[in-house]
Structure 1
């Protein structure tokens, strides 16, 4: 599940596909042709168990107050949510890591609408537990115009209700792929955030929340624009 083998430049056909179509196509190819059946079984069980835990239903939802944060970007500068919210709404996406092809496709899809998001007055940041070199690499290889901030130990993800620990058999699978999160994240908790996307209004209230314990399922970024237009209309009223 290395990024270099996961996502290439889109073909003309791929540009017409929705984000979920692309994710489904990658999943079918990976599980059908590349991953051994016992690996697929471990991954499916871990996802099913996380879904059954109900954690996604307990994560912060629209109407809740978003936790404030002050996190370093990939170059060491501190980014504060309070500063961003003074300028307008904030689009926040929680990102597992550059090793996750589903996450990279998700970031690329968000980048495709980043100018529209900014034109609607919003800021955009991604949040990841990765170390700075991996975040810089992710920004570069995914062609991002927005920063990936460091959430060491998934502390902020925990405040949003997103942090979970990988089961031991899945940890073994990840290590078998050469993906040691203790190294990649700079700490050994073996936790990740559930993929999530939020829109936070200027008063700190969550206006939109999409959390999915199945990392192969992601909302289409086209859902963001109507939320931001509504917030802009409300502010002008």
Structure 2
């Protein structure tokens, strides 16, 4: 029986509580709380929205369009921050284990999406030997349309610069914008069937509701996941 994603993320936070300097820990906690408090929920992508055509860049090279993704049915997008994000390095392997095999069996593409440029983003796919696709959202174009972007607050900017560089250098985008962790299930007609946005990046969508949404689209009998 595998651990839930949010238990794994809680373990990461517990490790930080025990090992991080109090000032650095507080910056992290404050930024996440601010994102929760200031979340513009009305702007977030939601079920029923129609997604106009978009193009992502595959980390291996080449592009991936909305129409290609939906050619044979629904698709699932998982937005994450960047390849070096510790929580993302827990979340993506979790989705690889708990979601990817089920979606693959159903013929449904699973794509992890970050604004980080492909040549920097590829490392997370290689590091974890991910079977799921990893793709770049150039200039946060799709993330902006989905209303899921946030900017680093001043304290977080200073903390990042004190470590050596801004997030824009890390991602290759040159900006302080990142997507909030988000899962979107897109039906074949381009409409959003399921969407969940997590302003606190240490709280993320579990595999089970995503699979349920896909099965409902396909008219499949639900299979209980081991969580």
TM-score (norm 1): 0.86
Unaligned 5+ segments in structure 1 are 1-14
**Residue in 2 that maps onto 1:93:** 78
- CA separation of 1:56 and 1:104: change in aligned 2, threshold 3 A: farther
Tell me which of 29, 44, 65 is aligned to 1:44.
29
SS of the residue 1:101 aligns to: coil
- CA separation of 1:39 and 1:57: change in aligned 2, threshold 3 A: farther
CA distance in 1, matches of 2:165, 2:52: 30
**Residue in 2 that maps onto 1:66:** 51
Tell me if the contact between 1:71 and 1:151 (Cα under 8 Å) persists in the aligned partners. Answer: yes
CA distance in 2, matches of 1:216, 1:56: 18
**Residue in 2 that maps onto 1:28:** 14
Shift of 1:134: 2.3
> Which structure has the highest helix share of the two?
1
CA distance in 2, matches of 1:169, 1:89: 40
**Residue in 2 that maps onto 1:201:** 187
CA distance in 2, matches of 1:34, 1:151: 34
Tell me if the contact between 2:116 and 2:136 (Cα under 8 Å) persists in the aligned partners. Answer: yes
SS of the residue 1:87 aligns to: coil
CA distance in 1, matches of 2:131, 2:204: 20
Supply the RMSD in Å over aligned alpha carbons.
1.7
**Residue in 1 that maps onto 2:200:** 214
SS of the residue 2:28 aligns to: helix
Length, aligned pairs only: 219
SS of the residue 1:224 aligns to: helix
CA distance in 1, matches of 2:101, 2:164: 35
Is 1:105 aligned with 2:100? no
**Aligned positions of 1:1-237 closer than 5 A:** 16-30=2-16, 32-112=17-97, 113-178=99-164, 180-233=166-219
CA distance in 2, matches of 1:95, 1:76: 19
- CA separation of 1:51 and 1:45: change in aligned 2, threshold 3 A: same
CA distance in 2, matches of 1:115, 1:54: 32
CA deviation map 1:139-183 (0-9, x unaligned): 011221122211233121000001111112101222344563222
CA distance in 1, matches of 2:80, 2:209: 18
SS of the residue 1:156 aligns to: helix
SS of the residue 1:219 aligns to: coil
Shift of 1:133: 2.5
CA distance in 2, matches of 1:67, 1:29: 41
CA distance in 1, matches of 2:163, 2:52: 34
TM-score (norm 2): 0.90
